Structure 1
Amino acid sequence: MVHGNRGYDHCATVAPAVPPGSPASCQRRHRPSSMFEWHLGDGGNPAELVTAWLADNGLPVRDLLRTANAFHPNGVGTPCGSSLYVSAAAGSVMAGGAVGRPSPVPGIPDVAAVFYEHTDPGAGRESGLSQRAISDSRSDSVPWSLGAWEDSWTPAEHAAAVRAVHAAIARGDVYQVNVVGHASAPYTGDPGPSLQRVTELPGARYGGLLAGAGWAIATASPETLVEVRAGRVVTRPIKGTRPATAQGRRELLGSAKERAEHIMIVDLERNDLSRLPGVGPVRVDELFAVRRWSGLWQAESEVSAPIEGGLGLAELLRAVCPGGSVTGAPKLAALDLIAGIEPVGRGAGMGALGWVGTDHVDLGLTIRTVAATDGRVHLWAGGGITWDSDPDAEVAEAAAKAAPIRRALAAG
């Protein structure tokens, strides 16, 4: 595979898959042509390196106001856009924060981009997910089987991490910290159909797949990390969860704790956008709206600002990565605490995955996301911790978020 800011032609090891956030008008008529990869330890600024690579491929990422006003070409051979993935660790590097423990999926790049060109309708390679992309040594004739899940920490250790955040809040180090757990399970057979089921979970705004040689990421994320469209930059943080029942909705809307936690993150996202060069006044367009993801209600807000001057993709990534709703406030202090209390790195979870096009950028936050590599599937789940958080309730919330993904992977 390719490291640094070099690409390779034909993308022979990239599995055909629907890229998260890609325009519906382009699906089934675009093909991958080259790929960028960056790993921790490669050196350089990953935000600038991937931006330069995308610009070299003809995408207007140096000036996102130009991107928002660009004409979208669609003739055969014209640029369609690029998938873009940024791990949580790479996001921490971009932000200047602590990276945390080693990733349990070290074979997956920390930044990956796949560039697509338009082709004849129906000739694209994005449908399905080939087993060869996960492991050349496995046979399609082997039945799919998912083994027992192994958690990186016990419920008691998860609860202890919540209490550690309480202590940090009491010291005045932080106001809120998102604590995330990891689990993995062995598998045999072709993971493609199960990964596809993950992407189709109800409420998966960014449902899709990205794959390379020996690895794949499948996301069912409902959360917008950042979107640039029609001259505005937008983020839609999600904080607050209850079962998707009538009672759960009432509890979520009536919870002072959930609302306070949510507003802290909205304020953090307002601050992130206000730090961007070339943007106008930041506003909250919608506050604490209740949306459904799979069997859960979740609270979502929308924060936006107009682009009025020079703003490039590198500056955007450095400001919004890693996402405030999966780090905490203040962000850098939260990253320091996370690095000390989480037992393994966040890998493909809690990063960014989406689309950089000729006329827009749309990146989802990689919550509700699975990675498959080396005969194992991995997932991450957690929640925001405030002074009022109950440790046992936080453990239960993380399990509730992971449960639909575990069921989708086990099916079939």
Structure 2
Amino acid sequence: MMEIGPLVVETLPYGAGVTPAMPSAYLDSLTELDRFEWYVGQPGDPAELIDGFLTGHGLGTGALRPSTGTGSGARPRPEPGHPAGAALFVSAAAGAAMIGAPTGRPSPAAGVPDVVAVVYTRTTRRAPEPPPPTAPWWLGPWLPSWSPAAHAAAVAAARDAIGRGDIYQVNVVGHASARYTGDPIPALARLGRLPGARYGGVLTGDTWAIGCASPETLIEVTGGRLVTRPIKGTRPATGPGRVELLTSAKERAEHIMIVDLERNDLARVAATGSVRVDELYAIRRWCDLWQAESTISARAAYGLRLADLLRAVCPGGSVTGTPKVSALGRIADLEPVGRGAGMGGLGWVGPDHIDLGLTIRTAAADGERLHVWAGGGITWDSDPDAEVAEAAAKAGPVRTALTGPDRPSGGA
């Protein structure tokens, strides 16, 4: 199987010119200036390490300060040689480590780091054209880490934990992988073009790559205003599906629990009394699915640091559960493999803007296999078979995009 080629340090790797949430003005105009990677099990607190690395480059701190309202317009683009911004990836396991929670089982994509921060500067040179393919793209059959029956049993076990009062809600996530030949980066880049992929893009390393099609905002910060947009509740994107999502008591109750969790997360780093629910249970479309989304905002507390912000929002509440630390313990017990690149955060940190998406609808490539993760929130009213079907519906468009527009995969 073909390994991903070495990272091109002088310019963005071909096919990876769009990092999720990167300003469009920077397309084809950035080069890599510096990079930091970290794996669970290595020394250090990942939140502090990220903070030190990015703020050392002058990134992120301006976003956390309140806007004075006296500026004359958009911030000037940094000159070549100065940091323009950074791509940032934080895995779910790294997020758990930040708050002293169980990090779960080992990732099936062990070569993908748990933290990646890549600082870029502007360049006057365009990114190189992709080299000709050395082998045609082929994707083998998907092999799940558990059977549908085992997935359903994990949902039933989660319901039992809810019935005992151990937790109120928990997200249960499955994983599948497939062998490939050829270059995986074009396949991963196709994810970013899926309808509704607010955080579409690719991040690469020497022998790994992450492709994202996420619609969900983990945290966005500008001028000291914190915004998160949790998604919880899914139905087919049909007329009856929309009505069912709008009228489902189970989905609405699950959604409200996560909204409350996210309000509490923001309150930990917000000015007293500033947390607001700006929009509740709005219906958005991602590919062929309707999903329920809310918008929660707050003003950053005085002196808020990037490390504290990451500890407050990572890992995301909509893919963990409530109470968060208890839910993470249950996840570590129930899921057969780690979440790897899934259910983490990926996006852009500029001098005065932070925008991280939650890595749902996300895939990762190592030297031999593509990996995908999908799941859903479990409440007392959850039906195990329906939850298995929902996870499959979420993974379906991702798998189809990875297969390619013309060439069938080796199976499902």
**Is TM > 0.5 for Structure 1 vs Structure 2?**
yes
Q: Which amino acid aligns with 1:11?
A: V
1:85 corresponds to: 89
Separation (CA, whole Å) in 2 of partners of 1:51 and 1:279:
24
Give the structure 2 partner of residue 200 of structure 1.
193
2:116 to 102, 107, 112: 112
Q: Which structure 2 residues correspond to residues 191-230 of structure 1 after superposition, within 5 A?
A: 191-230=184-223
- Residue in 1 that maps onto 2:336: 343
Q: Which moved more, 1:14-23 or 1:238-247?
A: 14-23
* Closer/same/farther in 2, CA of residues 350 and 312 from structure 1, 3 Å limit: same
For the structure 1 residues 99 and 67, does the alpha-carbon distance in structure 2 shift closer, same or farther, using more than 3 Å as the test? farther
1:142-168 Cα offsets, whole Å, 9 max, x none, are 111000000000000000001001110
Q: Would the alpha carbon gap of residues 196 and 60 (structure 1) be closer, same or farther in structure 2, given more than 3 Å must change?
A: closer
Q: CA deviation at 1:273?
A: 0.4
Whether 2:9 is the aligned partner of 1:11: answer yes
- Measure, in 2, the Cα distance between the counterparts of 1:243 and 1:309: 43
2:58 paired residue number: 58
Q: Which residue of 2 aligns with 1:21?
A: 21
Aligned residue for 1:6?
A: none
> Is residue 2:243 matched to residue 1:250?
yes
Cα distance in 2, alignment partners of residues 295 and 113 from structure 1: 32
Deviation at 1:193, TM superposition (A): 1.9
Q: Which amino acid aligns with 2:401?
A: A
What is the correspondence of 1:147-296 to structure 2 with a 5 Å cutoff? 147-276=140-269, 278=271, 280-296=273-289
> Does the aligned pair in 1 maintain the 2:66–2:300 contact within 8 Å?
no
Q: Distance in 2 between matches of 1:98 and 1:146?
A: 33
What is the CA–CA distance in structure 1 between the aligned matches of 2:67 and 2:274, rounded to whole Å?
20
Shift of 1:62: 7.9
String of CA shifts for 1:217-270, please: whole Å, max 9, x gaps: 000000000000133100000000000011110000010000000000000000
What's the CA shift for 1:60? 4.5
- Distance in 2 (CA, whole Å) between partners of 1:312 and 1:68 is 19
Secondary structure of 2:173's match?
Answer: strand
Contact 2:63 2:221 in 1 (8 A): no
Corresponding letter in the other structure for 2:116 = A
Residues 311-357 of structure 1 deviation map (CA, whole Å, 9 limit, x = unaligned)? 11100000000000000000000000000010000000000000000
Tell me the secondary structure at the aligned position of residue 181 of structure 1: strand
The SS at the match of 2:374 is: strand
Question: Secondary structure of 2:340's partner?
Answer: coil
| Partner Cα distance (2:92, 2:207) in 1 | 20
The 2-side partners of 1:262 and 1:305 are apart by 19
Contact kept? 1:62, 1:312, Cα under 8 Å? no
After superposition, the C-alpha distances for 1:159-203 in whole angstroms (9 at most, x for unaligned) are: 000100111011100000000000000000111221111111000
AA aligned opposite 1:270: R
Distance 2:329 2:382 in 1: 20
Residue matched to 2:106: 102
Structure 2 counterpart SS, 1:367: coil
Residues 42 and 113 (structure 1 numbering): CA distance in 2 closer, same or farther, change over 3 Å?
same
Greater alpha carbon shift after TM alignment, 9-18 vs 232-241: 9-18
Match of 1:353 in 2: 346
Whether the aligned pair in 2 keeps the contact of 1:73 and 1:79 (CA below 8 Å) is: no
Whole-angstrom CA distance in 2 between matches of 1:375 and 1:237: 33
Give aligned pairs, total: 393
Between the aligned partners of 1:67 and 1:207, the Cα distance in structure 2 is: 28
Identify the residue that residue 75 of structure 2 maps to in structure 1: 72
Listed as ranges, the gaps of 5+ residues in structure 2 are 1-6, 407-412
| 2:360 aligned residue | 367
Q: Distance in 2 between matches of 1:360 and 1:77?
A: 19
Letter in 1 for 2:75: H
Report the counterpart of residue 317 of structure 2 in structure 1: 324
Structure 1 unpaired stretches of 5+ = 1-8, 132-138
Counterpart contact for 2:191–2:211, Cα < 8 Å: yes
